[in-house]
């Protein structure tokens, strides 16, 4: 098949591209390289079944042309993660709402099966764990920009359902903390990148508050497999699926596992949220997916054990970010994860 991956130069998108090429498909990517990297797709640039356009999903003429000529669309392009959305809320909202609207409008026009990437963020502060696809969601006020990412993804889902209501074949995947090779060291899910870099450099591994908050870290091969199932299983059409592992890990436990796997002597240091994000920061204490629907309809279950996935990810970091590249002056990555005096609460 001919398949369009929006955001295909990104972390998950480029791993999806590899899987699609290995299945024999012809793959088209549109990505404006805002957080995506040419390094992520360098190895396939000369591939006869791979085509790349460096442009925005907001370019309606381009999207019309691209979607007209493919059989299927995986829509992953987005301004991803709370940090970027807080830095520039307007860009985040326009990309994540209008961009998805453009993709869905064109996919509907040419009647192309579509998968929309959503996020576990849409559950907000819900404590109704495990989080089920049809459960209620809970958010903070609109004056707090962090919630605009979750809201935009929720609007995307409403858009998708509105088109599904017209019979269009569309499915939605809600990703839970994906990690693995090509993870942007400074991007979404960076707690794993942060701990790996801190452990490799022997810096303190900084855990927010008591480190008792939990996440379900999901290896990228599982994330990709769930996405492909959502795009191919006939019964997936018109539904939303949690795509994630259900192994619940505290951030403190994660730090300890990574320290051991790296073979590091780093100390684990606790930092109050308020030192980093101010007084009014709201964090989700537990984020655990209900995995029953994905298992029943898609036959999906995350399979990669955390330790194995982390070992592979650490191996990739060692190769992509060799120690020389982490030396002061060679990149700002080492310094990026070093806690500031303020974060450590100096003088308090
Ligand atoms: N990584 C996770 O754990 C996670 C969790 C939940 C949801 N998601 C969703 O998965 C998708 C992929 O995320 P990712 O983690 O790979 O992040 P990523 O930042 O690596 O990927 C997003 C890609 O979209 C591209 N992009 C941004 N704006 C664009 C535009 N206007 N036009 C074209 N391309 C544009 C970026 O350059 C990047 O390559 C996103 O939709 C994200 O919201 C990811």
Domain ranges of the chain: 2-176+219-243, 190-215+247-287+304-344
- Report the C-alpha gap between 311 and 37 in whole angstroms: 23
pLDDT tier, 219 (very low <50, low <70, confident <90, very high otherwise):
very high
Per-residue pLDDT of 249-271, as tens digits, reads: 999 999 999 999 999 999 999 98
The atom of ligand 1 lying closest to the CA of 14 is 16
Q: Report which protein residue has its CA nearest ligand 1's atom 11.
A: 76
| The CATH homologous superfamily of the domain defined by 190-215+247-287+304-344 | UDP-galactose 4-epimerase, domain 1 (3.90.25.10)
**Mean pLDDT rounded to a whole number for the chain:** 93
Q: Report which protein residue has its CA nearest ligand 1's atom 41.
A: 76
Mutating to test ligand 1, I would choose from 80, 103, 160 the residue with most ligand atoms within 8 A of its C-beta, which is 80
Q: How far, in Å, from the CA of 78 to the mean position of ligand 1?
A: 4
Q: Report which protein residue has its CA nearest ligand 1's atom 23.
A: 7
pLDDT of 328 above 80: no
DSSP line for 121-150: GGGBT---SSB-TTS--B---TTSTTHHHH
Kindly list the protein residues whose Cβ atom lies closer than 6 A to any atom of ligand 1.
7, 9-13, 30-36, 56-58, 76-80, 95, 99, 117, 119, 175, 177-178, 184, 187-189
pTM for this model (two decimals): 0.95
Q: How far, in Å, from the CA of 118 to the mean position of ligand 1?
A: 10
pLDDT at 188: 66
Q: How far, in Å, from the CA of 80 to the mean position of ligand 1?
A: 5
The atom of ligand 1 lying closest to the CA of 40 is 39
Name the CATH topology of 2-176+219-243: Rossmann fold (3.40.50)
Q: How far, in Å, from the CA of 75 to the mean position of ligand 1?
A: 9
Per-residue pLDDT of 269-308, as tens digits, reads: 998 877 666 666 677 889 999 999 999 999 999 999 999 9
Residue 149 appears among annotated catalytic residues:
yes
Query: How much is the CA Rg of the chain, to the nearest whole Å?
Result: 20
- Report the C-alpha gap between 341 and 331 in whole angstroms: 21
Q: Report which protein residue has its CA nearest ligand 1's atom 7.
A: 119
Mutating to test ligand 1, I would choose from 4, 5, 6, 7 the residue with most ligand atoms within 8 A of its C-beta, which is 7
Q: Give 283's contacts (C-beta < 8 A, 6+ positions apart).
A: 208, 209, 213, 273
pLDDT of 348 above 80: no
Q: Report which protein residue has its CA nearest ligand 1's atom 6.
A: 119
Percentage of residues of the chain with pLDDT beyond 70: 93
- Report the C-alpha gap between 225 and 170 in whole angstroms: 17
Active-site residue identified among 11, 123, 149, 188: 149
Q: How far, in Å, from the CA of 116 to the mean position of ligand 1?
A: 11
For the range 162-170, what are the long-range contacts, defined as Cβ-Cβ under 8 Å and sequence gap of 24 or more?
Answer: 163/104, 163/107, 163/108, 164/237, 164/238, 166/108, 168/104, 168/107, 168/108, 168/111, 168/114, 169/111, 169/113, 169/114, 169/237, 169/238, 170/104, 170/107, 170/113, 170/114, 170/115, 170/116, 170/237, 170/238
Per-residue pLDDT of 45-98, as tens digits, reads: 999 999 999 999 999 999 999 999 999 999 999 999 777 888 899 999 999 999
Q: Report which protein residue has its CA nearest ligand 1's atom 18.
A: 10
């Amino acid at each position: 098949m001919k398949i369009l991956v929006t955001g295909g130069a990104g972390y998950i998108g480029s791993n999806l591209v590899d899987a699609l090429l290995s299945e024999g498909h012809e793959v088209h990517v549109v990505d404006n390289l805002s957080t995506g990297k040419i390094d992520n797709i360098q190895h396939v640039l000369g591939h006869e079944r791979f085509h790349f356009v460096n442009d925005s999903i907001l370019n309606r003429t381009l999207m019309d042309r691209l979607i007209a000529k493919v059989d299927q669309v995986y829509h992953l392009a987005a301004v991803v993660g709370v940090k970027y959305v807080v830095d520039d809320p307007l860009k985040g909202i326009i990309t994540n709402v209008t961009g998805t609207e453009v993709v869905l409008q064109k996919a509907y026009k040419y009647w192309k099966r579509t998968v929309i990437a959503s996020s576990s963020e849409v559950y907000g502060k819900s404590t109704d764990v495990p989080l089920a696809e049809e459960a209620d969601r809970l958010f903070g006020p609109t004056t707090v920009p962090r919630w605009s990412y979750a809201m935009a993804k929720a609007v995307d889902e409403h858009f998708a359902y509105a088109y599904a209501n017209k019979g269009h074949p569309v499915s939605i995947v809600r990703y839970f903390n994906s990690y693995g090779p090509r993870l942007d060291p400074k991007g979404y899910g960076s707690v794993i990148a942060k701990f790996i870099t801190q452990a490799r450099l022997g810096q303190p591994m900084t855990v927010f508050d008591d480190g008792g908050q939990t996440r379900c870290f999901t290896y990228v091969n599982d994330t990709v497999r769930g996405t492909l199932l959502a795009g191919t299983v006939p019964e997936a059409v018109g539904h939303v699926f949690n795509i994630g592992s259900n192994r619940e890990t505290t951030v403190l436990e994660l730090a300890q596992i990574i320290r051991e796997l790296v073979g590091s002597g780093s100390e684990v240091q606790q930092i109050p949220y308020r030192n980093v994000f101010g007084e009014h920061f709201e964090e989700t204490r537990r984020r655990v997916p209900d995995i029953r629907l994905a298992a029943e309809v898609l036959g999906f279950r995350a399979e990669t054990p955390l330790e194995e996935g982390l070992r592979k990810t650490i191996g990739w970091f060692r190769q992509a970010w060799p120690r020389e590249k982490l030396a002061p002056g060679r990149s700002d990555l080492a310094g990026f994860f070093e806690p500031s005096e303020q974060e450590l609460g100096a003088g308090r």
